[in-house]
Structure 1
Amino acid sequence: MQPLAESKPVQSRRAAARNGLSVKWFLLFWMIVIGIGVYAVYSYTNHLKQQVLSELSTQSQQQLTVLKTDYEARIATLSEEVKALQNTVQTFNELLTFTKDNQSAKTDNSNKLYTQLSEVRKQLDALKKEMDLLK
């Protein structure tokens, strides 16, 4: 009967070896599945990051375009105002020169014109400063 006793431990060793081998394959399979999952999450995260960056880039370009057009419109408006004030200053200068030439001792209109001319020059300087700030 000894041959039967010896065959059982050999069979149990083989069964244990098969069970150990199947456990190793099972663990390897799950490690591979987990690795693939981690790689998929990493790839998807990078994809989302690139997509968000491209959307932000597009939005910032649109906002910059809007700001640029607004800036150019303001510059054009200020340029027109400066030209109008320069014309007004030129007109006041001509009027002042005419008044100086025709001034009599009885009237003192030149002081009023100097005051008006001074105010116009102040406005012109203020507009030039605004224009410089916008540039």
Structure 2
Amino acid sequence: MNTPMEPAGRPNAVRAGVPGQRRKRRTYLVLLLFWLLLVGGGAFVAKLYTDHLRRQIAADIAAQTDARLIQVQQQYESQIAGLRESLGGDIAKLQEKIDSVNELLAFTKDSASSKTDNSNQLYTQLSELQKKLEALQKQLDALQ
């Protein structure tokens, strides 16, 4: 019997096709893994960059906040110093008025006698002075 050793049909074509498909699958698998690596690496780098930007923005905001707080503190201290000076001047003026009132009270107390009470003595002295001035004015008019 003459039987051929190779099967009928196109034996070379079938055997030649199998290694080509394996290479295509490997190529697709390698490309898929490479693509996944690129996407994953890109996502990782994007995450690192956003974290870096967040830290940088937070540092900038902290620096701006510190500068503003220092400025507000300086304004506050200058206002406090101005108020202290103003209040010191007002207190000095008020002390002068209090001293003058105390002198007036001391004068009225010293000039008080047993004949008049302390609250009415100054008014009566002024009234007497007014009467004497009117009398002098009448005498001056009579002389002319």
Question: Which category describes the TM-score, using the shorter chain as reference length?
Answer: 0.7 to 0.9
CA RMSD in angstroms, aligned pairs only? 2.0
How much identity, in percent, do the aligned residues show?
15
Higher gyration radius (CA): 2
Aligned AA (2:55): N
Match of 1:25 among 34, 51, 69: 34
CA distance in 1, matches of 2:35, 2:87: 78
The reply on whether 1:108 has 2:117 as its aligned counterpart is no
Against the structure 1 CA distance between its residues 10 and 81, is the aligned structure 2 distance closer, same or farther, given a 3 Å change threshold?
same
Aligned AA (2:59): Q
CA distance in 2, matches of 1:109, 1:79: 36
Instruction: Give CA-to-partner distance per residue, 1:19-65, whole Å, 9 cap, x none.
Output: 11111011101210121112111111210111111111111211111
CA distance in 2, matches of 1:2, 1:58: 85
- Give the structure with the higher percent helix: 1
Match of 2:97 among 51, 70, 88: 88
Shift of 1:69: 0.4
Match of 1:41 among 41, 45, 50: 50
Unaligned runs of 5+ in 1: 111-135
Q: Which has the higher contact order (CA 8 A, sep 6+)?
A: 1
| Bigger mean CA offset, 1-10 vs 17-26 | 1-10
Aligned AA (1:34): A
CA distance in 1, matches of 2:59, 2:22: 55
- Give the length in aligned residue pairs: 111
Aligned match of 1:6 = 15
Unaligned runs of 5+ in 2: 1-9, 123-144
CA distance in 2, matches of 1:63, 1:86: 34
Aligned AA (1:21): V
Superposed structure 1 runs of 4+ greater than 4 Å apart: none
